[in-house]
A and B are shown apart, each in its own frame.
Chain A
């Protein structure tokens, strides 16, 4: 169970006008702007729920995920995952979660994927029998048998993403955070990833929070949608709540962004 209440996070960003004169001026006097990445975010998610966390670029999605996964410390607010505050009990907290950052990689670049998996086994202190069970299950459902012996750098993006997802699930996390897991994937890989996430949620009861810009991901996966814009929660409901007629999901969401002016 995830409980988030009035979460705030501000980033300091240096700003200046274009041009040489302005650049020189900025050497001596710098103007900062404070960006409210999260401006009082609250929501709660029950065990086993699958939630799509959407919003335009820069809305605060990734910041929320980073706070939930214990990487970022917020300025204020309450956030508990399974009763623990991520940034205060980082090590205990991260044992029970899995994270996939679609734009980053957790696999060791130069060694076969299986070496990265073996290392994760030690990092998470996964017992040998559990590890082999999970590995064979993940290998089968994500179709990894041919690629785990290849160095990560020689995999295609789709193959790598399947390995990334497997890497995040080796330790049987109760909660899975997926930050743009389908970014840059081809149609076949996208379908495979979506299908896998859905099955994981159904078979294991894993709570899934998913951020994405691909509305078909949301259509396929999320029973509930949280819309964030300019650091505030704008809408929290089901897909049917926001859909007004037969129009395409992308148009519906674009319409929403316009309506909330984000």
Chain B
């Protein structure tokens, strides 16, 4: 089968792509081996997405790709063209925090706060799928996110509080 030039990005060369991040189209020059987390942080200045383990094991870089929570450090930026990318920066609307973020503040979901963007994005995907999760379901869904402050009790409370807020009509 013939190769088409649009399908190939040679090593060392850059390509113009448009990523759809938080409802906006962002034009970028990227290389083939750049991960989404690097591009979000360095190219889009969206530093809310954290990089820690760089191996997909800690969940600090979690973003939503078409509504599904995935670790951005294990995704190639070039493969995310045409997908809806949602980061922690997209949650706040017109100066109003997202109910999950409010719940995080009220229930002390963050201690040092480094893991919170990842946890909050995973929580958003969980609550979209299961609006009223029990403790076990929360623990299972957040299993890929690590908190080194060991703040898990508060995080579970925050997720439950967020579920209640969203049920009451927050968005």
A binds B: no
